[in-house]
Structure 1
Amino acid sequence: MDFSTAIVAGGICGLVGCVTPAVVFERALRPGTRVSMSAGIASIMVSFLVLSGVLLVVYLVTDTGLLEFGCAMVASFLLFWAVEALRAWRAANGRAQG
């Protein structure tokens, strides 16, 4: 796998790993909605299994590009959750007036 393919594929897979917890998170941000703790834990476990499975597949299928793929996957995952953390902070504290 060449460098650019590894970066793009890793970024996409990192975002795919965010889908299940993001659905639960978005439901929790809605006013008046209750989300169970078990749904949150299950979504995190699914995310972990998806990301681990993708890394395993890349490790088994290709002999190069694993480091680039993994770094891009983790970077996109963390960037997504940094944005969501900002949204949660704003939802909890109200938007700044200005």
Structure 2
Amino acid sequence: MMPHRSYRRVSPEVRDAAVAQVVALTGRLRSESEACRIVADQIGVHTNSVRNWVRAAEGPGLERMDASALRRKVAALQQQLAAAAEVNRALADTLNESRRRT
């Protein structure tokens, strides 16, 4: 017979704070896994719990999206790319114009 496992309840506020801390630490540490381990140790939960919270906050990964969701994602990214390209063109035009005046 397997021993009964007891899991500590963690409030949504603590989960949100843990996810935010992992995101903040990930840029400063070697990996997201290391950030999850550090945060998990701080709040007294298993590393995989924190990792699961981070994954849930990120939303569905590309491997879990259906074809229509992927098409919507691609279309949204194409719109963002087009908007960014337009901003870049405008900035380049402004820079070139200011260089001509000088």
> What TM-score, normalized by structure 1, do the two folds share?
0.37
Q: Bigger relative contact order, structure 1 or 2, given CA contacts below 8 A and separation 6+?
A: 1
Choose between structure 1 and 2: higher helix proportion.
Answer: 1
